[in-house]
Chain A
Amino acid sequence: MSNPWPNHSPSPVAELAVPSPDDPVLADAAAGWRSAYVHIPFCRRRCPYCDFAVVAGDEWARRSDDPTDRYVDAVVGEIAMEEPWGPLDAVNLGGGTPTALSADQLGRVLDAVAERFGIAPGAEVSIEANPEDWDQNAWADLVAIGFTRVSLGVQSFDPVVLAALGRSHHPKMAAAAVAGARRVGLGSVSLDLIYGSEAETPASWAATVATALRLDPDHLSGYALTVERGTELSRRVGAGLAAAPDPDHQADAYELLLAAATAAGLVHYEVSNFATPGHPCRYNMATWAQGEYLGFGLGAHGHGSGVRTRNLRRLDAYLDAVEQGRRPRAGAETQPAWGREQERLILGLRRRAGVVAGAIGDTLERSHKGRRLTAAGVLARHHDRLVVARPLLTDEVSRAVLSLSADDC
C-alpha cells in the first residue's frame, strides 16, 4: 500500500497532492507509520474531570527535591532500554502538561528519542500545552529543539465554563497562545475543546466554537465531557452536587460543532477530530489504524507485535523500576487473532474513512444487530469498507462487534 507520508521526504505537503484527512487510503496507510508517545505527568493541579496519569503540582512543587529532573532521566533511561525501531513518523509528548518541563528538559527527551530511533524528516513532532504556559522564548525554543506541532488545551472560550471546569487560564490567553505558537513557527496548531459541562449553555458553546474557528486552527478536537471514575467530578455527581452531562445536550453540541467546523473548511475525520488537509494528527491516525507505537513514561501505553503494554502509574514505582534497570511495566496483554480483528474494526470505525470490512465486517453486517444498525442508518457499506454514518452512535456498533464470535465467520 502506498504511503502518502513518505518517511524521508522533507515536506510531504509540498511534494504530494495532499490527501484529505478522511481519505481511506491515508487512513489505512497510517497502520504502517511508526510513532512514539512520551508521557509527561506534571500539572499545576489536577482538573476535577481528569483521570490521566498526573502528578499534580500541589503534590510535588513544594518538595525540596523537584522530581522533574529525575523523571526526565528515567524517561531517557527507559528509552535506552527499548529495541531500536524507526525512524519515527510521529512523536507525541502528552500529559499531564509537557510544557511544565523546561525547554532544556524537553530537549533531552527528544534527543534521546532521536538518538535511539531516529526521527524521519518531515515527521510530526507534537507537544500538548496549556494556554497559560504560553511564553515567547520558551516556545521559540520548542521549535528549535524540533517540535512541529502543538495541541492546546483550550477547552472553552467562556470564562464561566473554564472556571467550572477548574481551569486556571483566561480565554484571552488561549487566543494569545495560538497566535504566539504560529509566530514562533510551530507549523501545525491544534485546539482541544470540551463540551457538555454543566456551566455551558447552547449559546456559550456556539460562541466557543465560533471563536475557535476564527483562530483558524489546523486541527480541532472536540471532546464530550466524560465523568470518569475516581475523579472529583464523579464524586460530585455521585453526591448530587453536580449534574451528569446530558447526552442530548452533548449531541446538540456535537452537531453544532460538526456543522460549524465543516463550514469553516475543516474536515471531520474521526468521531472527535477535525483537520485541514495535511494536518490530521499522525500519532492518533496510527492508533486508529491499529498501528504499532512505543510508549514511554508514567502510565504510558505501547503496542507492538500483537502485544499491548502499559506502564506503572505511580511515580515512585516508575522511577524505582527504571533506576534499578527494569522496564517499568505494569502489564502486557497478548491478543488472540479474533480479538485483534474485533479491535481493528472498533478502532477503524471511529474514522470517517471507516475500515476494510474483511470477513468479520461481513459477519457484522449479516448479524441480527448489524442488520438493525444498517436499518437505522448507523452502519453503512462503501465497496469493501464499512463506515459508521452516524458517528455519535459508534459505540452501538462497537458493542455489536464485540458480541460477534469467531465461529460466526
Chain B
Amino acid sequence: MTDLARIRNFCIIAHIDHGKSTLADRFLQLTGAVAERDMRHQLLDTMDLERERGITIKANAVRLDYTATNGARYALNLIDTPGHVDFSYEVSRSLAAAEGAILVVDATQGIEAQTLANAYLAIENGLDIIPVVNKIDLPAAEPDQVADQIVGVIGGSGDDVLRVSAKTGAGVPELLEAIVARLPAPTADVTGPLRALVFDSYYDPYRGVVCHVRVVDGTLARGDQILYMATAETATADEVGTLTPSPSPGGRLGAGEVGYVISGIKEIDLIRVGDTITHAGRGAVTALAGYREPKPMVFSGLFPTEGDDFERLREALEKLRLNDSALVYQAETSRALGFGFRCGFLGLLHMEIVRERLEREYDLDLVATAPSVEYRANLTEGSVLDVRSPQDLPDPVRLTSVSEPMVRVMILTPTEFVGTVMELVRLRRGEMGDMTYLGPERVELHYRIPLAEVVFDFFDQLKSRTRGYASLDYEPSGYQEADLVKVEILLNGTPVDAFSTIVHRSRAFNYGRAMVDRLRQLIPRQLFDIPVQAAIGPRVIARETIKAKRKDVIAKCYGGDITRKRKLLEKQKAGKRRMKMVGNVEVPQEAFISALRIDE
C-alpha cells in the first residue's frame, strides 16, 4: 500500500489524434512498466478496433512506478482517454478517478474543439491541469503560438506549458517531474470506511465481472466481504490488484489508489459503472456521487440476421454494456427484421463501434436500421410521446406537432473559413449564436442546430469545407417544433421499417430519392419485378424498379465435366446465404449497412 503523498492520479486528455496514447507509451517506457521488446505503438489501445482505426475508444488505466529525481518513489495512476466526441463519456468517468489532467495539444493543429470541451470538463471536476504542447519534432510545429492559445483558455503563464514530443520522447522526463511536483496527492480518509468508485468494468468469461476502481477512502483487500451499494449485492473480493498494464494481483488497494477487483460475480446486472463499493456490514453510509447517466443522441435497431440469435444478442448487449456504460437498449420488434433491440448511442462512430464489437467479440451477424434521433410527438389528446423509432410516430391525424432535439454547437475554425461554416450551418437549419476570437486567426462560433442535422455527416462536411481545420463539439439544448415527416420505404409494396426515417420536410425528397436509388443497386434482381418506393403517408415521392432477372444459367458446353458445374452452383448458393427475407424479397445484409450511408 502506498503512502498518499506518493500517489498521483491523472488523466491524459486532448482532442482526437493529438498524441495521448503515444505519450502514454513514453511514460510506460521511461518508468520501465513495459520491457523494450514488448513495446509497440499506442500500447494501451489493445482492442482490435482501436488498432485498426488508430484511435482510442476505451479509456485505459495503468499504474506506473516512478522514481523521481529527488530519489522518492511514486505510484502514478494514469488514465489514457479517447479524444473523439462520441466517447467523451469515457473522459468524464476517468476524470472522477483523478486529481490531475495532462492537457495535450498538437503543436501543428493548435487548440481544437475537444481540447476546449475536455479542458472545461477537467476544470469543472476540480482537476489541476498540466498543459502540454506535443509533436514539437514536426517542422510545422508552432509551440509558442499554441502555448499562447492554451494560456488564453485555461489561464496561467506560457512558462507553465511544457513542450514535448511523444514520438521522440523529448521533454517527457521533465513532464514526469512536473506531474510529481505540480499535481496534488489525493486526499482521503485513510482509516475510514471503504468507499471505492467503480469507473469501468468488463466481463471476463472465466472470472466474471472485473471492476476498475478508484479507492477514495479506506482500504480494499483480498478476502474482504464487499457490498455494491447501488444493487445491495454482497460478494467476496477474490482478487484485488493494480493494472501495470496487465493485471497484477497485489492483494490490496489503499486510499487514493487505482486498480481492479474481481468478486466472482457473473450476474451482470448486479454491477453498475458509477457504483460505490464498500465493506459489507461495517461499510460507508453514503455512496460516492457516481455518474450522470449519459444521454444517447442517436438510436438504431440492431437485429440478428438469424432470428435464433436474439437471445445471444441480448446476452452480448448485457456484457458489452458493462464495458460501455453509454450504451442503452430495449427490445423491439420490426415487421421486416423480426426481434431485436432499439439501441441508443452517443453518436454514429459509437454506433458503428458497438455493432462491430458485438459482431466480433460475440460472433454475431447483425443488421442495423437507419439511425434516428429521439423526437417528441405532441398528441391531440394533450400528451407527449417520445419517438425513438420512426415506427413509433403516430398517424398524422393524432398529432398536433412534432419537436426535434436541438444541440448547442461550438465550432473552432481559422477565421478564413467563417463564411463557409456559416453557409453550412444555414443549410442545416442552424441559428447563429456568439462568436469569440481566440487570437487573430482562430474563432469560436456558437450555434443552435437540430441534432439530426449535426449527428450524421455534419462533421465530414465541416472538415471537407475547411480543409480539415475546423473542429466541433456539441451538447443537448432542448427541443423545438419543426415540420417533420416520416418517409417510408416500400419494397414490393411492403413498408420496410428498417429504412424508414423521420426527416424535415425539406429533406424528404432527397432522402427518398437517395434511398430508392441505393436499394435498386444493392438488391439483386429476383424472379419478379420489385418496385422500390419512397412515400410520405400515401404519397409516393420516389420510385424505381428492380427488374426481374432474365438470365441465370450456364448456357455453355461443359462436356462431361458435371462435377465442376455442380461446384460452381454450390459456390453461388453459398454466396446467397447472407440474405434476409423482407416480405417475399431477398435483401442482402450488406444492403442494410450500405443503404443507410447516405451523404449529401
Q: Which residues of A contact B (CB under 8 A)?
A: 37, 52, 94, 192, 221-224, 226, 247-248, 250-251, 254, 271-272, 287, 293, 295, 300-303, 308, 310, 333, 343, 346-347, 372-373, 376, 378, 391-396, 398-399, 402-403
Question: CB-CB contacts of B531-572 with A at 8 A, as 1s and 0s?
Answer: 000000000000000000111111111011111011001101
Q: Assess whether B563 is in contact with A399, with CB atoms less than 8 Å apart.
A: no
Given A303-B562, A376-B527, A402 and B549 contact (CB-CB distance below 8 Å): no
B contact set with A: CB distance below 8 Å: 527-528, 549-557, 559-563, 565-566, 569-570, 572-573, 576, 584
| A301 and B555 within 8 A (CB) | no
User: CB distance B527 to A373 under 8 Å?
Assistant: yes
- Contact A395 to B562, CB < 8 A, known contacts A223-B557, A376-B528: no
Q: Which 9 A-B pairs have the closest CB atoms?
A: A301-B560, A376-B527, A251-B550, A224-B555, A394-B553, A251-B551, A247-B551, A399-B573, A392-B551
In the assembled complex, the Cα of A365 lies from the Cα of B528 at a distance in Å of 18
The one of B528, B554, B560, B576 that contacts A302, using a Cβ cutoff of 8 Å: B560
- Return B520 CB to nearest CB of chain A, in Å: 15
Known contacts A301-B562, A398-B569, A393 near B552 by CB under 8 Å: yes
Question: In the complex, which residue of chain B has the Cβ closest to the Cβ of A248?
Answer: B550
Given contacts A37-B559, A224-B556, contact A392 B550 (CB under 8 A): yes
C-alpha gap A94/B550 in the complex (Å): 31
Residues on B with beta carbons closer than 8 Å to the beta carbon of A402: 566, 569-570, 573
Chain B nearest CB from A283 CB (Å) reads 9
Contact partners of B572 in chain A: CB under 8 A = 395, 399
- Determine whether the beta carbon of A223 is less than 8 Å from that of B555: yes
Task: Determine which residue in B553, B557, B559 has the highest number of CB atoms from chain A within 10 A of its CB, and name it.
Answer: B553
Contacts A393-B552, A399-B576 hold; do A303 and B560 have CB atoms under 8 A apart? yes
In the docked arrangement, what's the CA distance between A396 and B553, Å?
8
CB distance from A32 to the nearest CB of B (A): 17
Is the Cβ of B573 less than 8 Å from the Cβ of A250?
no
CB-based contact B563/A310 at 8 Å? yes
Tell me if B584 and A347 are in contact (CB < 8 A).
Answer: no
- Known contacts A247-B552, A376-B528, A393-B551; 15 additional CB pairs below 8 A are A37-B560, A224-B556, A247-B551, A272-B556, A301-B560, A301-B562, A308-B563, A372-B584, A391-B553, A393-B552, A395-B553, A398-B569, A399-B569, A402-B566, A403-B573
**Is B563 in contact with A333, judged by CB distance below 8 angstroms?**
yes
Bound together, the chains give a CA A403 to CA B561 distance in angstroms of 21
Give CA–CA (A287, B556) in the complex, Å: 14
Distance of A222 Cα from B554 Cα, bound (Å): 12
Q: Which of B553, B555, B560, B563 contacts A295 (CB 8 A)?
A: B560
CB distance from B330 to the nearest CB of A (A): 32
Chain B neighbourhood of A308, CB < 8 A = 562-563
- The reply to whether A254 and B555 contact each other, CB–CB distance below 8 Å, is yes
Instruction: Check B527–A343 contact: CB distance below 8 A.
Output: no
How far does the Cβ of B351 sit from chain A's closest Cβ, in whole Å?
Answer: 33
Contacts of A221 in B (CB 8 A): 557
Q: Roughly how many angstroms separate A333 CA and B559 CA in the complex, as a whole number? A: 17
A389 to nearest B CB, angstroms? 12
Q: For A251, list chain B residues within 8 Å (CB).
A: 550-551
Q: Is the CB of A395 within 8 A of B560?
A: no
Q: A219 CB to closest chain B CB, in angstroms?
A: 13
**CB-nearest residue of chain B relative to A151?**
B557
Q: Contacts A37-B560, A302-B560, A310-B561; is A395 near B527 (CB within 8 Å)?
A: no
Residues on A with C-beta less than 8 A from B570 are: 402
- Please tell me if the beta carbons of B566 and A343 are within 8 angstroms of each other in the complex: yes
Q: Which residues of A contact B562 (CB under 8 A)?
A: 287, 301, 303, 308, 343, 347
Q: Are B552 and A392 in contact (CB under 8 A)?
A: yes
Could you show 15 A-B contacts with beta carbons less than 8 Å apart?
Answer: A221-B557, A223-B556, A224-B555, A226-B554, A250-B551, A272-B556, A303-B560, A346-B565, A346-B569, A372-B527, A373-B527, A392-B555, A393-B552, A395-B552, A395-B554
A315 to chain B, nearest CB (A): 18
Note all chain A residues with C-beta closer than 8 A to B554: 226, 395
| A272–B555 CB distance below 8 A | yes
Asked whether A393 and B557 contact (CB < 8 A) given A308-B562, A372-B527, A399-B573, the answer is no
From B551, B552, B554, B561, residue with most partner A Cβ within 10 Å: B551
Do the beta carbons of B553 and A293 come within 8 Å of each other? no
Which of A52, A248, A392 sits near B553, CB closer than 8 Å? A392
A343 contact set on B, CB distance < 8 A? 562, 566
In Å, the complex CA distance between A392 and B569 comes to 15
- Please, how many angstroms separate the alpha-carbon atoms of A399 and B552 in the complex? 11
Q: Which residues of A contact B528 (CB under 8 A)?
A: 376
In the complex, what distance in Å separates the CA atom of A346 from the CA atom of B553?
A: 11
Residues of B within 8 A of A293 (CB): 560
Q: How far is the CB of A200 from chain B (nearest CB, A)?
A: 15
Measured CB to CB, the nearest residue on chain B to A396 is B552
Closest CB in chain A relative to B280 CB, distance in Å: 56
What's the minimum C-beta distance from A226 to chain B, rounded to whole angstroms? 5
Chain A: CB-nearest residue to B577: A403
Q: Is the CB of B557 within 8 A of A301?
A: no
Q: Which of A250, A301, A310 has the most CB of B within 10 A?
A: A301
Q: Could you tell me if B549 and A301 are in contact, using CB atoms closer than 8 angstroms?
A: no
Q: A395 contacts B569, CB within 8 Å?
A: yes
Residues of B within 8 A of A52 (CB): 559
CA A221 to CA B562, docked complex, whole Å:
18
CA–CA, A251 to B549, complex, Å?
10
| Residue in B527, B573, B584 whose CB lies within 8 Å of A393 | B527
Say whether A247 contacts B550, CB under 8 Å: yes
CA distance A355 to B569 in the complex (A): 19
Q: Which residue of A lies closest to B555 (CB)?
A: A224
Of listed B555, B569, B573, residue having the most chain A CB within 10 A: B555
Query: What residues on A are CB-neighbors of B549 within 8 Å?
Result: 247, 393, 396
- Docked pose: A347 CA to B566 CA in angstroms: 10
Minimum Cβ distance to chain B for residue A216 (Å): 22
Task: Kindly list chain B residues whose C-beta atoms are within 8 Å of the C-beta of A301.
Answer: 559-563
Q: How far is the CA of A346 from the CA of B562 in the complex (A)?
A: 10
- CB-CB nearest in chain B for A273: B557
Task: Kindly provide the distance from the CB of A48 to the nearest chain B CB, expressed in whole angstroms.
Answer: 15
Q: How far is the CB of A57 from chain B (nearest CB, A)?
A: 21
How many Å from the CB of B415 to the closest CB on chain A?
46
Tell me, in angstroms, the Cα distance from A172 to B83 when the chains sit together: 74
Of B551, B559, B569, which one neighbours A94 at CB under 8 angstroms?
A: B559
Q: Which A residues touch B552, using CB under 8 A?
A: 247, 392-396
CA distance A37 to B528 in the complex (A): 40
A231–chain B nearest beta-carbon distance, Å: 12
Q: Please, which residues of chain A bring their CB within 8 A of the CB of B560?
A: 37, 287, 293, 295, 300-303
Which residues of B lie under 8 Å from residue A300 when comparing CB positions?
Answer: 560
Residues of A within 8 A of B556 (CB): 223-224, 226, 272
A287 to B576, CA, bound (A): 28
Residues of B within 8 A of A333 (CB): 563
**Chain A residues positioned under 8 Å from B559 (CB to CB):** 37, 52, 94, 301
CB B588 to nearest CB in A, in angstroms, measures 16
In whole Å, how far is A349's beta carbon from the nearest beta carbon of chain B? 10
Closest to A228 in B: B556
> B565 — which chain A residues lie within 8 A by C-beta?
346
Q: In the assembly, what is the distance between CA of A343 and CA of B558, in Å?
A: 15
* B550 contact set on A, CB distance < 8 A: 247-248, 251, 392-393
Contacts of A376 in B (CB 8 A): 527-528
B576 nearest in chain A by CB position: A399
Cβ distance B586 to chain A, nearest Cβ, rounded Å: 10
B489 to chain A, nearest CB (A): 22
Minimum distance in angstroms from A92 CB to a CB of chain B: 9
Output the least CB separation between A42 and chain B (Å): 16
State A223–B557 Cα separation when bound (angstroms): 7
Q: In the complex, what distance in Å separates the CA atom of A254 from the CA atom of B550?
A: 10
Cβ contacts under 8 Å, A250 to chain B:
551, 555
| Closest Cβ neighbor of B549 among chain A residues | A393
Tell me if B527 and A224 are in contact (CB < 8 A): no
B164 to chain A, nearest CB (A): 49
Contact of B551 among A254, A347, A398, A399 (CB under 8 A): A254
